[in-house]
Amino acid sequence: MLADCQSFYASVEKAQNPEYTGKPVVVAGDPERRSGIVLAACPLAKAKGVTTAQRLGEAIAQCPDVVIVRPRMAEYIRVSLQISDIYRSYTDLVEPYSIDEQFLDVTGTLHLHGGSPEEMAQSMQRQVLAETGIYCRIGIAENKILAKTACDNYAKKNESGLYVLHKNGLENTLWTLPIHKLFMSGNRMTHHFQSMGIETIGQLAKTPLDRLKGMMRRKFGKNSDINAELYWRIANGEDDSPVTPQTHEAPPQSIGHQMTLPRDYGSLEEIKVVLLELTELVCQRCRGKGFMGQVVAVGCQGADFDRPTGFFRQQKMMDPTNVTNQVYRAAVQLLERHWDGQPVRKVGVTLAQFQDSGQYQLAMFDDRERAMALERATDALKEKYGDSIIMRAVSVTAAGQARDRSGKIGGHYK
């Protein structure tokens, strides 16, 4: 099963604020900081033409009586975890796909709850609605790809919010849909398929795999066989991946932070301020997970997507570390070496090639022990009182973003 919460952020706000009943509600970012886009819109707002990712001004023009709510990410995470606990009362095989979507494998527990998969899904719907006020739609199938497809294309459009997609009936269901409905086929890939004469999912599914690989090689180059097989398998409803509860608990290959700035940063000194703040966040996370990294990467990007500027480069440091100042020095070297002087709107820092922080090479002239003790002390303060309890002096300058960022989760207000 793939269970999806309808208009999740907006539904949480309506469930917890009875005064919004019967009113069109959207959850949106902060327009003053150039993040005024719609993150979620309730069905009443969508009925008036409001869409997710739409600019807030456009949404207001389409729906003048819309109620605009600033996001509360910490509360949305709490409700999402509550819903996960409800699902886990039906099966221990629950895999988060996003904050509002979860995969469930009920094969081994269906007999414990009696009835059919549809009846079990109905029971889940009722319990989630009763305990959280959130309405969920559930796609049911024999594998994850088909369950996701069933939810997105059918359950969301059904009055019951449920749909069972049978693999032996794809010719009359999935294969009749236009190619842009294919899972993982965005606007660009849809255009490529159409240029190859593929207009429906069924046409893609019925194209012999060897022929599809040849078509994609001519389109994208010799290294496109894997993508060809991926899309062909999706179109044919083939997916061997299990529902894995620990899918997000595997050790990370890298840890990074990036942020979109509220304005263009045009001077090296301004960019360095944000670079230091991001480096501190990355190193703080690495210390919390017990990692030291040896490869640091820095990325900068301009605001004009039609004429992209910027860079993404990495370098290997002499020794693995999670000390902020050491990583920052390497990050600054990358910035000074590769920045072309064009205005910057997005900055990112990543640390990779990890080793256990409990073992490291001592250096005769390295004051690492003292630096690490200081970092441990500041980490403890931030964990107890919040990230803004202690900050570097540059963070209170006009270029600093740490204070504002400390009140957000994933770029949105807590």
pTM for the whole thing? 0.74
pLDDT score for 237: 95
pLDDT score for 409: 64
Catalytic residue among 32, 75, 95, 101: 101
List, as residue ranges, the binding site for Mg(2+): 4, 100
pLDDT score for 48: 93
**Cα dist. 324→22, 286, 410 in Å?**
50, 10, 21
List, as residue ranges, the binding site: 4, 100
Give dist(CA 40, CA 46) in Å, integer.
9
Q: How far is CA 320 from the centre of its chain?
A: 28
Domains and CATH numbers, the chain: 1-115+131-137 (3.40.1170.60), 174-235 (1.10.150.20), 254-413 (3.30.1490.100)
Contacts of 362 (CB under 8 A, 6+ apart): 368
**Cα dist. 339→130, 151, 195, 301, 315 in Å?**
54, 45, 37, 10, 15
Look at residue 146 and give its three-state secondary structure: helix
Q: Of the candidates 115, 122, 127, 114, which has an alpha carbon nearest to the alpha carbon of residue 138?
A: 122
pLDDT tens, residue order, the chain (414 aa): 999 999 999 999 999 999 999 999 999 876 454 447 899 999 999 999 999 888 888 888 899 999 999 889 889 999 999 999 999 999 999 999 999 999 999 999 998 887 899 999 999 999 999 999 999 999 999 999 999 999 999 999 999 999 999 999 999 999 999 999 999 998 999 999 999 999 999 999 999 999 999 999 998 887 889 999 999 999 999 999 999 998 776 678 899 999 888 899 999 999 999 999 999 999 999 999 999 999 999 999 998 877 778 999 999 998 899 999 999 999 999 999 999 999 999 999 999 999 887 776 666 666 777 888 888 899 898 888 888 888 888 888 888 888 777 766 666 666
User: In the structure encoding, which two tokens stand for residue 314, read together?
Assistant: 């990495």
pLDDT score for 34: 40
**Known catalytic residue: 75?**
no
Q: Of the candidates 54, 29, 51, which has an alpha carbon nearest to the alpha carbon of residue 42?
A: 51
